[in-house]
Amino acid sequence: MVKQLVILGSTGSIGRQTLEVVSLFPERFKILALTAWRNWRLLAEQARLFRPRMVWIGEASLSEALREALPPQTEVLSGEQALCELAAHPEVDLVLSALVGAAGLAPTLSALSAGKTVALANKEVLVAGGELVLQLLRRRRVRLLPVDSEHAAIFQALKGHRRRDLSRLILTASGGPFRQTPVERFPEITPQEALRHPRWRMGAKITVDSATLMNKGLEVIEAHYLFQVPYKKIEVVVHPESIVHSLVEFRDGSLLAQLSLPDMRLPIAYALSYPERLPLPYPRLDLSALGSLHFEPPDLERFPCLRLAYEAGERGGFWPAALNAANEVAVEAFLSGKLRFSEIPLLIEETLSRLSFSGKPGSLEEIIEADRQARKAAWNWLKERGC
């Protein structure tokens, strides 16, 4: 059976790699819709190649240029309501959620509400809306497949094992480009330096998050919701080679790990074809050539963002959504030259200290409001400092 796909964020790193995998198996996958925020030229190029029935562009002002670049039978859409309707389209079999940041929450919830299988590459969906996602998974009995390499590794290692035998989850982190950089240099780090990840090729926001280790903190929160494991049983270990993508420890002391070359096309392909595996033509891991692997504990003094994520996760409720919003503001300010690299965790911590929440999110609107409050507090902090 041919799977009909909607790709939310087709012009980003994950979206492009997803289309690469899809192009290898035209007999298995068909693109129903593609979406992008601003990159209409690449979106048009993708649409001409894969011939989706619909495309969506976030910047409505670009709709006409996109429409002129496409055949007349391709429907061009814009607006949040249209995006949510695409994600819940009656003919879609799988939605790949790869939009950047909290923008992916509403369409992902829409897809799950409609009973669609979701391949999740947007960790902020679970960070900000984990409680709502869990409610939908229980009520609709739908499948949420992880695309992040760490969570895909855990998902695979847990297959066939009883949850009551689980002892802990161990997420691996590359350590980013500044693992051994003297802390005294952190205030001088430029966006160009932060965007040079030693192992992975990713979008700007996630690459900066990897440099601060906030990405790993968000993944800890994501793992908590995906696998419903308490935070005290989720650990992080720095693994510079990025070969072991994560591990699961069972109560008898056994460890199961998933290993591969650092290539996001592998977890993408597994999510697209689950429960099958596709015969991928990509390079394979040669253990004898690899020689050795290294592991070390994360330095929370050097990378306080990881600590902040654990704290927000433990507090629960609206705090993970506020953490994510503050971090998005911090990364944006850093990339635009308004904030030093060393000030990213300071902005996040100061923002959270100015907020007050109680209870758990009961609706998307409540999460959006918490997100708005956190962003406002973060921008106010920047203005107070003259940034």
**DSSP alpha helices (H): ranges in the chain?**
13-24, 40-50, 63-68, 80-87, 105-113, 124-140, 149-158, 191-194, 204-212, 214-227, 265-273, 287-290, 304-315, 319-335, 344-353, 364-384
> Do 119 and 169 share a domain, yes or no?
no
> Do 100 and 246 share a domain, yes or no?
no
Residue 189 — very low, low, confident or very high, per pLDDT cuts 50/70/90?
very high
Q: What's the average model confidence in pLDDT over 85-89?
A: 97
> Is 109 within a domain?
yes
pTM of the model: 0.93
Which residue do the tokens 């040079």 mark? 196
Q: What is the C-alpha to C-alpha distance for residues 14 and 148, in angstroms, rounded to an integer?
A: 10
pLDDT exceeds cutoff 90 at 264: yes
pLDDT exceeds cutoff 80 at 202: no
> Is 60 within a domain?
yes
pLDDT exceeds cutoff 90 at 222: yes
Average pLDDT, the chain: 94
Could you tell me which residues are beta bridge partners of residue 376? none
pLDDT exceeds cutoff 80 at 201: no
CATH at residue 249: 1.10.1740.10
Q: Residues 195, 207: contact at Cβ < 8 Å?
A: yes
Of 179-183, 325-329, 358-362, give the range with the top mean pLDDT.
325-329
pLDDT on residue 146: 97
CATH at residue 112: 3.40.50.720
Could you tell me which residues are beta bridge partners of residue 259? 244
pLDDT on residue 130: 93
pLDDT on residue 206: 85
> Is 293 within a domain?
no
> Do 227 and 367 share a domain, yes or no?
yes
> Do 336 and 371 share a domain, yes or no?
yes
Residue 59: which domain range?
A: 3-146
Q: What is the C-alpha to C-alpha distance for residues 84 and 156, in angstroms, rounded to an integer?
A: 30
pLDDT exceeds cutoff 70 at 291: yes
pLDDT exceeds cutoff 80 at 238: yes
> Is 156 within a domain?
no
pLDDT on residue 101: 73
> Do 376 and 242 share a domain, yes or no?
yes
Q: What is the C-alpha to C-alpha distance for residues 267 and 177, in angstroms, rounded to an integer?
A: 23
If one counts the domains in the chain, the total is: 2
The three-class DSSP label of residue 280 is coil
> Do 93 and 56 share a domain, yes or no?
yes
pLDDT in tens, 26-63: 999 999 999 999 999 999 999 999 999 999 999 999 99
> Do 63 and 105 share a domain, yes or no?
yes
> Do 322 and 371 share a domain, yes or no?
yes
pLDDT on residue 328: 94
pLDDT exceeds cutoff 80 at 370: yes
Cα-flanking dihedrals φ and ψ of residue 213, to 5°? 70, 10
> Is 270 within a domain?
no
pLDDT on residue 52: 97
pLDDT in tens, 122-169: 888 999 999 999 999 999 889 999 999 999 999 999 999 999 999 999
Q: In what side-by-side order are the strands of the sheet with 144-146? A: 75-77, 54-57, 29-36, 3-8, 94-97, 117-120, 144-146
> Is 56 within a domain?
yes
> Do 117 and 190 share a domain, yes or no?
no
Identity of the residue numbered 299? D
Residue where one domain finishes, among candidates 86, 111, 146: 146
Residue 204 — very low, low, confident or very high, per pLDDT cuts 50/70/90?
confident
pLDDT on residue 200: 63
